[in-house]
A and B are shown apart, each in its own frame.
Chain A
Amino acid sequence: MKVKVIARNPDDYVRETKLDIQRVPRNYDPSLHPFEVSREYTRALNATKLERVFAKPFVASLDGHRDGVNCMAKHAKSLSTLLSGSCDGEVKVWNLSKHECVRTFQAHEGFVRGMVVRYCGTSFFTVGDDKTIKQWKMESPGYGEEEEPINTILGKTVYTGLDHHQNDPVFATCGQQVDIWDEQRSSPIRSFTWGVDSFSSVHFNPVETELLASCASDRSIVLYDMRESTPLKKVIMTMRSNTLSWNPMEAYYFTCANEDYNLYTYDMRYLAKPIMVHMDHVSAVLDVDYAPTGKEFVSASFDKTIRIFAKDGGHSREVYHTKRMQHVICIKWSADNKYILSGSDEMNIRLWKANAAEKLGVLAPREREAANYSQKLKEKFQHHPQIRRIARHRHLPKTIYHQTKELRIMKEARRRKERNVRKHSKPGSVPVVSEKEKHVVTVMK
């Protein structure tokens, strides 16, 4: 009897060293793979579902404050250090990797309004309701020593915000006016006023380091140049902006968090119209911070949620909330682009993942490749209805869900009314005003 055997040459499938990739004989001729798209679609669907399964963004909660957390500051040189100031004037320094408080001291009487770490990371500044600016050392005092600021400046008015220059010993405060301080002097080297306002926040541009922007109570955002003696420009919006954040990678973009539930991204050269309106919050937005990559930002709102927006996305890609989290007052995006920190009314600081479904830690090469592939698949099929439905699905608290619905109805009603008015009036007398233009009142030179 003749036995026929299929002969295989090991050269065709055995790799030479174990460092080589596995040789898998494949014929890539597309005519042999008529179902590639449908197969990839299935994979994309599975990847999307798995992403939702693994989306567990909440990492830890840091408790210890005895009042609402009013402000936070990232350490300039250390990823694991966070500073927070509460409404009772207490400042805490946290170790994020250990989830524990390292240092606590009473910095001010009344609120700690603002805090910022010096660019070198050796000291930090705080301002409080007691009309003082204090500079503190970063390392805790030795045994038996008392917590004492390196430097204290007594001001005439309450300071409500504070920011430090990117690489010079200069910082800015705001209150009734915007002041630029030299660290060595006890009086401001420059003060900016433009009408009678009270400012809620001031921020240095991290790229063009001489520029500043502040939000004022007259619903305006004012731009300054540290080198000039006058402010540069002012845009007045329909409602007040609480804070703003500059894009750390794109010099002329900033985003402001507005009381009208929206965020607005402006190009500082063209203030007449924001380049993007970011909607989704259902209450006033209290804080905003850009990701260090400049691709996304995170916002904290009075509606007890945190939302993540793409810098050019009109709606949020992610919403975080927990049952116990109250009004979120301050928010920070960690400097390694991995985490989000939120400080809220109910005295807790929460640590979140920036990408909810991302696996933390070091990935094996194959793992990383698989993640990249599934990410690309999701991107490729993102417009397909089923995939979009699953990817967009979020559970929201009942109140927020209903409020969203209500807002939608209100908006629709307003639009309908406008349409009707336009229909019944002389053509051209009721112009169409785009959503972007609607919210800017004037630009003052």
Chain B
Amino acid sequence: MAKVSKKKASKKKTRSGGAEQSNEGHPDVVYDDEKEEDATDEDITVEDEDEHDERKRQKLLEAIGTLSGKRKKTLGERSEAAVHMSEFTVNAEGEGDKVDLSDLIGSIEKTPGLSGKSKKRLKNLEQSRKTIECPLSKQESERIRRDLAFQKVSKEVSHWKSVIRQNERAEQLVFPLNQEPSGPKPIERVVMGWKAQTPLEQEVFTLLSANKQPINDPILTPTEEASMKAMSLEEAKVRRAELQKARALQSYYEAKARRQKKIKSKKYHKVLNKAKSKDFQKQFDEMVKRDPAAALEELNKMEMARMQERMSLKHQNSSKWARSKAIMAKYDEGARKAIQQQLEVNKDLTQKLVTSLNKEEEETMEEDGNADVVPDFVNDAEQGLDFSNPWMTGKLSQDCVEKETSNAVTIRAEENVAEEEEVEETEEEVLLREFDSRRKRRQAQEADAAVILTEEEEEENKDASDKEEEELSEFTSLFKGIAEGCGEADTAAELEKELKIRCLEDEELLTQDKEAEEEEEATDKGPVVPQHPPATENGQKTGKSRKRRKGIELKQVLTKGAQVLQVPFAPTIEDAEDSEGKLDQRGLIKEAFAGDDIISDFLKEKRKQEDAGKPKVVDLTLPGWGEWGGGGLQPSCRKRKKFRRKMTPPPPRKDQHLPGVIISEKRSSSIRLHQVNALPFPFESPSVFENTIRSALGRTWNTERTVKKVTKPKVVTKLGAIIEPMTREELVKDKNRASAGSSSSVKS
């Protein structure tokens, strides 16, 4: 150790001065006492002798020095290296005392505990001749440490940059930052701190825990959670959307069904049922083509229903209700209709399917159908009107037949026969049947108006008799016209047309009205009856006219509001009074402003302004300059011409082509007071600034939503809430946001 310190000392000496350069390489003799003690025993003995010699020599030197009398140097023992060092104290003998690293670590070789690796390293160290650089001064090292720490901190702090920038750009900041969302809290958060206390609660909780039901977090059971995990977010979203759609559709259907159910109109339901059956028929036909097996099944089902119907007495008019209705039917139209409807249902259900081939059964069935308990007049009533009657809908030629025949009670039997005939008829018999119908038609004509009168009566029930007669006469004449005007073969077709039209009308009305049936009928017939043509035209024409009339009717039915809207505003009907009134007013105004002629005044003013703006000729002649001057003397003509200056004309006025406007391009001092005269700071171009000014903010010029958006305050604080400083959570949030944003951008 001592030797090492010696080395250091020598080094310092070399630095300290050039004078001691020569001593380089010699070990220093001066060292600390304490260090001396540290040295090994051998060293001490050697050095003791050395020291002894040295002291002697020094004393001798001192003595010599005193002799010279020059100066007295007290070179005492030194404990540290110093600049002032006597060259005589250098000991040349110290060579042998130099301690090598090998001396120090020599013993290591022998120690068995040390690993080979460290031994090797030590050996390397021994061989290297490099000296260790002296450590930096305290100030320097501190500065470096500070610098490093500062860099670290500033880097750390810079993470806030994005948050700060975002807040600066934000249109609105809401403080406090970590506000709890208003509104109801999720139940699990409310329940969080709650614990079971009463025995009942405890019991419940043990039950829950036994069944692996959630206790603290009552939202999801473990299985539910697992399923949640299994489903990804996208899937869940898609599924939810589907469910929502299904729910919405269901609600629509429900609403529709409810609405339909509410509709009281029987006609509507009739039409609906018909449509349904038609649909069903269509589907069935398709099914026959596509999937015969399923069709067969369906057929069986229908057959089954038919059988059940036949077996049961549900629609057989044998119920108490039906009987009571049958009694009432004589007087009440509604009851009659109801019974008829029931009969219809019965017929529908008991009808043998078309596909079946066995005729016999059909026959029997028909017979069954005819063998009703219902009194006959129920069937008779208003058969001409009721198109939903299957007898009328299916075969039109027969319909008319029936219509005519059923009117008269006397033809009852005949009709029955006819019906039976119908049942048995085949296609070959169509011709025959037509002939028959013609015959019957003739009969009907003969049966005269009285027959039809009854029909009409039944239709309307309440009309005054004379009016009725009028209508009836029209009606009959129509019929006559039909019968006479064209061939009898046509009549059936025409009638069919007519009926169809009427059907259409009915349907249209159905869609519109929700009124009581009577009213309906009234509206239905009101326009129909009086507009029968006076029977001069043939059937075709009547049909057309009806169609046209129907169009007009439609317009009438249309909401009047729409019609009003279509009427133009200005050119309303100019009544004589109105125009008179206007004239009066005009005259009044004229009279009132008779004195002043505004237009000409305005034009004058404009001309004046224009004149003022025109350049004037400037006369720059100086009288007396270069000529004789004095009173009464005029400058010469030539000079005046020479010095007369015409100014260049200004650019054309902006109101040049606008006769009714004066545009002044002069600066108005009163307005200038309110105008911005320099581009304000944050703006870079006047156009941007002008744009910000141009867009209005108020609700007079903007929609409510825009106003709300535009007038949003920049900082919103909650009343009475402490605004805490920003926390590190914000940083985390921002990072998440950024990562989410980047991922989304990658996706898109």
Contact = CB atoms under 8 A, between A and B. Distances in A.
Interface string B711-748: 11101011111111111100000000000000000000
B697 interface: yes
A101 interface: no
Contact of A230 (B145, B692, B720, B725): B145
Interface in A58-92: 77, 79
B568 to A, nearest CB: 15
Contacts of A381: 693
Contact of B146 (A211, A233, A386): A233
Interface string B171-188: 001010000000000000
Nearest to A296: B715
A178 B173 CA distance: 36
A131 interface: no
B429 interface: no
B674 A376 contact: no
B698 A40 contact: yes
B566 to A, nearest CB: 15
A232 B725 contact: no
A440 interface: no
Contact of A79 (B142, B713, B720): B720
Interface in A188-237: 206-208, 211, 223, 225, 228-233
Nearest to A26: B700
Nearest to A24: B699
Interface string A116-152: 0000000000000000000000000000000000000
B576 to A, nearest CB: 11
Interface in A1-59: 1-2, 21, 26, 28, 30, 33, 36-37, 39-41, 43
B726 A36 contact: no
B701 A376 contact: no
A369 interface: yes
Most buried by A among B575, B701, B710: B701
Given A2-B577, A225-B149, A230-B145, A380 B693 contact: yes
Contact of A33 (B700, B712, B718): B700
A252 interface: yes
Contact of A207 (B150, B692, B725): B725
B411 interface: no
A373 interface: yes
Nearest to B728: A207
Interface residues of B, number: 58
A52 B186 CA distance: 47
B652 interface: no
A36 B698 CA distance: 9
Contacts of A373: 697-699, 707, 711
A36 B696 contact: yes
A338 B717 contact: yes
B678 to A, nearest CB: 9
A232 B702 CA distance: 55
Interface string A376-409: 1100110111100000000000000000000000
A224 B167 CA distance: 27
Given A28-B703, A36-B696, A233-B150, A383 B713 contact: no
Given A336-B720, A375-B713, A41 B674 contact: yes
Interface string B662-677: 0000000000011111
A264 B578 CA distance: 80
Contacts of B707: 373
A292 interface: yes
A238 interface: no
A268 interface: yes
Nearest to A36: B696
B719 A362 contact: yes
A228 B676 contact: no
A36 B695 CA distance: 9
A79 B701 CA distance: 42
B722 A79 contact: yes
B150 A33 contact: no
B704 A21 contact: yes
B675 A252 contact: no
B143 interface: yes
Contacts of B692: 380
Given A250-B164, A373-B707, A383-B676, A232 B726 contact: no
B175 A292 contact: yes
A335 B724 CA distance: 8
A290 to B, nearest CB: 9
A268 B711 contact: no
Nearest to B672: A385
A248 interface: yes
Contact of B711 (A37, A77, A372): A372
Interface string B655-690: 000000000000000000111110010000000010
Contact of A232 (B150, B704, B718): B150
B160 interface: yes
B629 to A, nearest CB: 51
A392 to B, nearest CB: 14
Nearest to B149: A228
Contacts of B149: 225, 228, 230, 232
B726 A249 contact: yes
Interface in B447-497: none
A385 B175 CA distance: 33
Contacts of B173: 293
Given A40-B698, A293-B173, A335 B723 contact: yes
B676 A207 contact: no
A176 to B, nearest CB: 19
B674 A384 contact: yes
Nearest to A80: B720
Contacts of B696: 33, 36-37, 40
A361 B719 CA distance: 8
Contacts of A362: 719
A231 B146 contact: yes
Contacts of B145: 228-230
A33 B164 CA distance: 41
A166 B724 CA distance: 10
Contact of B160 (A229, A250, A386, A445): A250
Contacts of B699: 373
A102 interface: no
Nearest to A251: B160
A373 B707 CA distance: 8
A337 interface: yes
A223 B720 contact: no
Contacts of B153: 208, 211, 223, 225, 232
A252 B719 contact: no
Contact of A385 (B677, B700, B725): B677
A386 B673 contact: yes
A336 B716 CA distance: 11
Nearest to A232: B150
B694 interface: yes
A223 B152 CA distance: 13
Interface of A: 1-2, 21, 26, 28, 30, 33, 36-37, 39-41, 43, 77, 79, 166, 206-208, 211, 223, 225, 228-233, 248-252, 268-269, 292-295, 335-338, 361-362, 369, 372-373, 375-377, 380-381, 383-386, 445
Given A231-B146, A336-B723, 17 more contacts: A33-B701, A37-B693, A39-B698, A207-B726, A225-B153, A228-B149, A230-B142, A232-B146, A249-B164, A250-B726, A292-B722, A337-B723, A373-B698, A373-B711, A384-B676, A385-B673, A445-B143
- 6 smallest A-B Cβ distances: which pairs? A206-B725, A292-B723, A248-B725, A383-B680, A251-B160, A269-B154
15 contacts: A166-B725, A206-B725, A207-B726, A211-B157, A232-B146, A250-B167, A362-B719, A369-B708, A372-B711, A380-B692, A383-B676, A385-B674, A386-B673, A386-B674, A445-B150
Interface of B: 142-143, 145-147, 149-150, 153-154, 156-158, 160, 164, 167, 173, 175, 575, 577-578, 673-677, 680, 689, 692-694, 696-704, 707-708, 710-713, 715, 717-728
